[in-house]
Amino acid sequence: MKRRASGGSAIERARGVPFRFDGREMRGCRGDTLASALLANGVRPVGRSFKYHRPRGVLTAGSEEPNALVELKRDGAYQPNIRATLQELHPGLEARAQNCWPSVRRDVLAVNDLLAPFLSAGFYYKTFMWPRAFWEGLYEPLIRRAAGLGRLPRAYDASLHERAFAFCDLLVIGSGPTGLMAALTAGRAGADVVLVEEDRQMGGLPLSQGGQIDGRGADGWVQRVLRELQGLPNVRLMPRTSVFGVYDGGVFGALERVGQHLAEPGLVPRECYWRITAKRAILASGALERPIAHPGNDRPGVMLLSAVASYWQRWAVDPGRVVVFGNNDHALTTAQALAAEGMQIAAYIDSREDVAGEAPFPLRAGAEVVGTRGRQGLREVTIRARGRESRIACDTLGLSGGWNPTLALTCHQGARPVWDEAIAAFVPRPGMLPGLEAAGAARGCFSTAACLADGVEAARAALAELGLTAPDIALPEADDSPYTLRPLWQVKAPGRAWLDFANDVTTKDVKLAAQEGFASVEHMKRYTTQGMAPDQGKSSNMGALAVLADATGGSIPGTGTTTFRPPFVPVSIGALGAGARGKGFRPERRTTSDTQVRALGAPMIEAGLWYRPSYFPKPGDPDWRTACNREVGYVRKAVGVCDVSTLGKIAVQGPDAGRFLDFVYTGTMSRLAVGRVRYGLMLREDGHVMDDGTCARLGEQDYLVTTTTAAAGEVMRHLEFVQQAFCRGWQLRLCSVTEQWAQMAIAGPLAGELLAHVLGEVPDLPFMGYQPVQVGPVAARLFRISFSGERGYELAVPARYGADLFRQLVALAEGLGGGAYGMEALNVLRIEKGFLTHAEIDGFVTAFDLGLQGMMSRKKDFIGKAASGRPGLTGAERLQLVGLRPQDPTAELTAGAHLYPREAPAKATHGQGHVKSVCYSPTLGTWLGLALVTNGRARHGEMLRLDDGLRGNRCEVTLCDPVFFDPEGGRMRD
Amino acid sequence: MIELSASQPFAGLHLPFSHGATRLSAIVPARMTMIAPFPGKTEALVKLLGGFPAPGEVFEPHLRLVWAGREQALAFGEGLPDGLETCASLNDQSDSWAGAILEGEDAKAVLARLVAMDLRALPAPSSARTMLGHLPLLLVKESEAEFQLWTYRSMAGSLKNDLDQAMRSVAARRAVT
Amino acid sequence: MRLPCPCCGWRDLREFTCIGAADYLERPTADAPPEAWDAYLHVRDNPAGPARELWYHDPCGTWLVVERDTVMHAVTGSRAVEDAQ
């Protein structure tokens, strides 16, 4: 570690940390960031620039870093675009420079830099225009290969991420003097405070700049305040956390680096995506120093002055001989302070004429840096003063073009900042965003004393709005020297001067954009790509704007800023998707028979969130259809058992229950006798069918409504709406009892016989009847309903008995030559009977389309009645439900296929309708289909061509009645 | 005639278990009845029951009554007074729910990973209807370090899975410096 | 985004479902002319500013009328549909 000075508040020198960069073994200290460790190891280029592949070094010491983006090895893969300035060093860390090959020092694509005259702003819009045909085959693949920052790992991302929610009275963003005083004031007042800091260490600028607060070293003051805050139970400190977005209702998005700094994170998530809801928030995010666009300002070794100070104070990185180039008072005082601490300041260059001061180094007023030299890093700078140029040998150039308040978060809801001439920067407007106020440097108060006072003031205002009393708090003494500057956006001298280091945008590119008509700031940004790199132009937006204003002859406030949008800092997709991976993606609903049907080897299919068995394979089955046919046979010839618990069950109870059901069903349920069940249809208010199911009257004021599995939630929401909106005061309540009952269908000619084993006798229950029964001591419900067309019962028991009931029913059925049947068989059975599911009730069909117009009562109003009668929802032009039979019974029908006249081409204009569901019917020995066909009911007997362009299936089909099997229904009634 | 044996909602899911400072255990289901007073009949119901919980309330005039949604409460235990059916809808829900107890000093930190509501201001005991991840949730706060978490029975596995992951993550974080 | 439920207090957006303008509460009578039904079902303003919307708080089952500014995103009121007039 050749460039380590003494001191360094952030590092523990005794604890060396081995790591690798670009394959080279290096050592840093515990407490280093990757950037500080690289600098301490004398590494200068840490990556190559985006377009010209120029060597680039570390520019900043924070999350705004445009250059030091590296690929970091994590969980076996390299993760791109890791900011070396934020990444903490850990033993065994492996990183490599990105955007260069074969290495950062010798990079093949550096040839781009020689081609720079041809690669100006918008070059690919101009260059790759002709010939047109070359675009897809040649230009695009070429550009794609060269473009992009870093490489995406191809492997599955095995890293863990986490999401979490936090709530507080006051969120303080930033832990510098402003944030600390705000948190302390609010914390002492008893408010719930969350204090968020992006850095590993809280304290902000004083950690980097030293100085005195409250008559002691600033660092000591910070530690004392932190100790008090840690002792307050109502204050939560969140270091390593960046707030990246402000959303409606006081919700803030924040990203915490939880395990990113650990060598072996184990189960510790890499990052946590926090949603912090705060009643009030104080933005104490400070300010970012801005560079100066002078020729050669992108050479490794050129840094922000604040970064030079930060690496020196916190990580004891010795920058060698330093030239400081500034335009403001703060730059000079910083240079003086650093010199006093032993840094070698070779010269202080200030663009202002009227600068003077005591300094142990040459002070050059009215001077500018007009050039730099050094192949892999800075060796000397060229100075111009009063028209004369001279050279100064140095290792580091510290730039300070003034400071920009970090105000992006105040603009996330569309508000615009205002221009403050005194500091030549944009500042937030008070009241820009409800509940969020900027304080301290974030609103342009730059001295430490002003920040301390502003933090207290902001907290007082927030506490008053929260109804809390602010405590009396003594303001610590601190530096209050004024900050003045004369704006210097660019040094006008020959050579390329960089604005956006990450995307390689120079002052010339911005001028060219203006010249070519892209004079609005939003156009300039997109034409040059300035501000569109991962750093989002944090160090370049202001400069580019000023250069654009200069080129167009406008003022800076007149030119305006681009739009600030979340995220303020890069957020990994993994963090955004935290918790939604694998089983977290959506819940699984499992029936009580789930374990048993899986044990029987049934493949499961999803129905909404539920899992249901599709069929029950047996050894030797050549395919799934063999199993399906067997199960259809159980039901048609013996008895089958199927868990139907997933259907929605809603209890509707109360004196007005019948009246309510008359209003939501097309039919009249109030006249249903107790102990009877009726098939019902619910419409949406727009006249289309919402759902179908049965309605049983269990008692005088007690109805049970069933819904389809998929529509259960929607129907409940609909019923709640109708009740709360249109039936105020009616004496009834709704209650979902879906999960209370495990319900098993028992269907087939031997269903009664099976039930006799279960209940001790064959129940004397007519078709569409209900009665309470006992299964031993267990109170159960028996319905005689059928979705298969055979004699059918559904037996419901409290869910705790579901598993055992299913097991015993299947065993009994097997004893009678039957067994369990799955969804495939259920589907065949219902298609054979023309019974409906949501395959047919697809949201576009009316009761008329389904041939169910007879179920719509004329005597009463019901939801959907008025609209269902309007023109266009009934008539010959409607697609109507029909059955389909292929001419050749072995010809496979496919759902989703379209139907055309036999000789007509497969064009939409000839379309007659489409197929909704199909099956092979072992009962009838043919394929069957249900379809919606224009005027279909009047066309039974007609032959059409089925054409499935997607799967290449064609055959001839005949339209028929949708009930294929036992049309009189004798099998289920008798 | 057959005889039926009962099984528990968390059967086969290996409860109870602990990670770090939190423990998850299954609640053995008792009689649970959903009581929903008909519009305008709350007063009559209060006379019979000794009270009816307002939103978020849990109280025990006789049976434990837990607010469980708009105009409805769950009554825990046997022995509902006669005549309730004249003023309220009553539904046995003993088998509808899967309930677990999350306890320990990190219980709140675990819930902060899964529940998007502000738990700070809830008194103990109190109840809330919300979501745990994507799961419907009836949350009953018993103390600062003990929460009952109820979801629908079919989702017991997902409830366990979500909590298991959050508990592991919180426990692992404890070790980070 | 967060919304206030009259039963449950302020809750995260994920707990709610919106079905659009509160005009949907003004259901015409059964014998109203087709124009009235057409307006009720299909014709909606698209205000930039204050709006009244129907939201469902799924966890507790309450339907709400939420008053919200579609420009400023401020929520200014929320009442149960049962109590709203």
Angle, alpha carbons A113-A114-A116 (nearest 5°): 65
The more confident residue out of A870 and B72 is B72
Residue A657 is predicted with a pLDDT of: 97
Residues 116-145 of B with CB under 8 A from A: 116-120, 133-135
pLDDT-based confidence at residue A294 (cuts at 50, 70, 90): very high
Half-sphere CA count of A562, side-chain side, radius 13 A = 25
Structure tokens belonging to residue A681: 């249809």
Report the mean per-residue pLDDT for chain A.
Answer: 93
Residue A103 is predicted with a pLDDT of: 72
> Does A720 sit within 8 Å of C61, measured CB to CB?
yes
Contact C10, C2 (CB under 8 A): yes
The terminus-to-terminus CA distance of chain C in angstroms comes to 25
> Does B113 sit within 8 Å of A163, measured CB to CB?
yes
How many whole angstroms separate alpha carbon A879 and alpha carbon A881? 7
The terminus-to-terminus CA distance of chain A in angstroms comes to 94
CATH 3.30.1330.40 at B17-29+95-173, yes or no: no
Q: Is C11 on the interface with A (CB under 8 A)?
A: no
Q: Is B104 on the interface with A (CB under 8 A)?
A: no
Residue A139 is predicted with a pLDDT of: 67
Please name the helix (run of DSSP H) or strand (run of DSSP E) that holds residue C78, with its range, or none: strand C75-80
The terminus-to-terminus CA distance of chain B in angstroms comes to 64
pLDDT tens digits, A24-82: 999 999 999 999 999 999 999 998 887 788 889 999 999 999 999 999 998 778 888 89
> Which subunits count as partners of chain A given 3+ CB pairs below 8 Å?
B, C
> Does C8 sit within 8 Å of B129, measured CB to CB?
yes
Stretch A769-781: mean pLDDT: 96
Boundaries of domain holding C60: 2-80
Give A599: exposed, middle or buried? Use CB within 10 Å, 0-12, 13-18, 19+.
exposed
Cβ neighbors of A886 (< 8 A, separation 6 or more) are A892, A893, A926, A927, A946, A955, A956, A957, A958
How many whole angstroms separate alpha carbon A503 and alpha carbon A204? 28
Residue A762 is predicted with a pLDDT of: 85
Residues 53-72 of B with CB under 8 A from A: 71-72
Give percent of chain A above pLDDT 90: 83
Residue C66 lies in a domain: yes
Residue B35 is predicted with a pLDDT of: 97
| CA-based R_g, chain C, Å | 14
Count other Cβ atoms within 10 Å, centred on residue A252.
Answer: 25
Q: Is A586 on the interface with B (CB under 8 A)?
A: yes
Q: What are phi and psi of A598, to 5 degrees?
A: -70, -40
Cα dihedral C16→C19→C25→C31 (10° resolution): -150
- What 3-state class would DSSP assign to A600? coil
CB pairs under 8 A between A and B: 155
Residue A903 is predicted with a pLDDT of: 92
How many whole angstroms separate alpha carbon A321 and alpha carbon A345? 6
- Minimal Cβ distance to B70: which of C10, C15, C62: C62
Cβ neighbors of B72 (< 8 A, separation 6 or more) are A733, A735, B34, B35, B36
Q: Which of A638, A633, A688, A682 is nearest to A662 (CA)?
A: A682
- A590 φψ region: left (φ > 0), alpha (ψ -120 to 50), beta (else): beta
Which residue of chain C has the CA closest to A871? Answer: C34
Give A234: exposed, middle or buried? Use CB within 10 Å, 0-12, 13-18, 19+.
middle
Which residue of chain C has the CA closest to A685? Answer: C41
For strand B64-69 and strand B22-26, is the pairing parallel, antiparallel, or unpaired? unpaired
> Does C80 sit within 8 Å of A725, measured CB to CB?
no
Tens of each residue's pLDDT in chain B, 177 residues: 899 999 999 999 999 999 999 999 999 988 999 999 999 999 999 999 999 999 999 988 788 999 999 999 999 999 899 999 999 999 999 999 999 999 999 999 999 999 999 999 899 999 999 999 999 999 999 999 999 999 999 999 999 999 999 999 999 998 776
Q: Measure B85 CA to nearest chain A CA, in Å.
A: 9
pLDDT tens digits, A907-921: 999 999 999 999 999
Q: Which of C7, C14, C16, C83 to mutate to test binding with chain B, by most B CBs within 10 Å of its CB?
A: C7
Which residue of chain C has the CA closest to A166? Answer: C12
* The pLDDT of residue A147 is above 70: no
Contact A87, A481 (CB under 8 A): no
pLDDT-based confidence at residue A356 (cuts at 50, 70, 90): confident
- Minimal Cβ distance to C82: which of A165, A251, A724: A724
Residues of A in contact with C30 (CB under 8 A): 861, 865-866
Angle, alpha carbons A807-A812-A813 (nearest 5°): 100
Spell out the domain ranges in chain B.
17-29+95-173, 32-92
Long-range contacts of A132-140 (CB under 8 A, 24+ apart): none
* The pLDDT of residue A1 is above 60: no
Q: Which residues of A touch C (CB under 8 A)?
A: 165, 247-251, 275, 277, 413, 434, 685-686, 717, 720-721, 724-726, 728, 861, 865-867, 870
Please name the helix (run of DSSP H) or strand (run of DSSP E) that holds residue A69, with its range, or none: strand A69-74
Helix A305-315, helix A329-340: angle, nearest 10: 30
Q: What share of chain C is helix, strand, coil (3-state, %, to 5)?
A: 20, 40, 40
Tokens 């105000």 identify what position? A407
Angle, alpha carbons A346-A351-A354 (nearest 5°): 100
How many whole angstroms separate alpha carbon B142 and alpha carbon B132? 17
Give B111: exposed, middle or buried? Use CB within 10 Å, 0-12, 13-18, 19+.
buried
CATH number at residue C9: 3.30.2270.10
E-strand stretches of B38-92: 58-59, 64-69, 72-76, 88-92
Residues 41-70 of C with CB under 8 A from B: 58-62
The structural domains of chain A, ordered by start, are 1-156 (3.10.20.440), 161-288+405-466 (3.50.50.60), 294-401 (3.50.50.60), 489-559 (1.10.10.1100), 593-645+740-830 (3.30.1360.120), 648-736 (3.30.70.1400), 875-973 (2.40.30.110)
Q: Is C80 on the interface with A (CB under 8 A)?
A: yes
Residue C33 lies in a domain: yes
Residues of A in contact with B171 (CB under 8 A): 267
Residue C85 lies in a domain: no
> Does A610 sit within 8 Å of B39, measured CB to CB?
no
Which residue of chain C has the CA closest to B115? Answer: C12
> Which subunits count as partners of chain C given 3+ CB pairs below 8 Å?
A, B
Give percent of chain C above pLDDT 90: 87
Q: How many residues does chain A have?
A: 974
- As for the ipTM of the complex, it is 0.98
pLDDT tens digits, A117-134: 666 776 666 666 666 676
pLDDT tens digits, A545-587: 999 999 999 999 999 888 888 999 999 999 999 988 888 889 9
DSSP state of A816: T
Q: Is C84 on the interface with A (CB under 8 A)?
A: no
How many whole angstroms separate alpha carbon A855 and alpha carbon A669? 12
Q: Is B3 on the interface with A (CB under 8 A)?
A: yes
Helix A802-815, helix A751-759: angle, nearest 10: 130
**DSSP β-bridge partners for residue A770:** A783
- Minimal Cβ distance to A653: which of B89, B120, B176: B89
E-strand stretches of A240-395: 241-247, 251-257, 271-283, 287-289, 302-304, 321-326, 344-350, 363-365, 367-373, 380-385, 388-393
Q: What are phi and psi of B101, to 5 degrees?
A: -105, 125
Q: Which of A220, A207, A172, A174 is nearest to A61 (CA)?
A: A207
Q: Measure A661 CA to nearest chain B CA, in Å.
A: 16
Structure tokens belonging to residue A664: 């939501």
> Does A584 sit within 8 Å of B162, measured CB to CB?
yes
> Does A760 sit within 8 Å of B1, measured CB to CB?
yes
E-strand stretches of A544-643: 589-590, 604-607, 610-613, 640-643
Which residue of chain A has the CA closest to B136? Answer: A587
The number of domains in chain C is: 1
From A203-212, A733-742, A766-775, the region with the lowest mean pLDDT: A203-212
pLDDT tens digits, A940-962: 999 999 999 999 999 999 999 99
CB pairs under 8 A between B and C: 34
Residue C20 lies in a domain: yes
> Which subunits count as partners of chain B given 3+ CB pairs below 8 Å?
A, C
Residue C14 lies in a domain: yes
The more confident residue out of A286 and A127 is A286
Contact B59, B51 (CB under 8 A): yes
Q: Measure A654 CA to nearest chain B CA, in Å.
A: 7
Give A9: exposed, middle or buried? Use CB within 10 Å, 0-12, 13-18, 19+.
middle
Residue A717 is predicted with a pLDDT of: 97
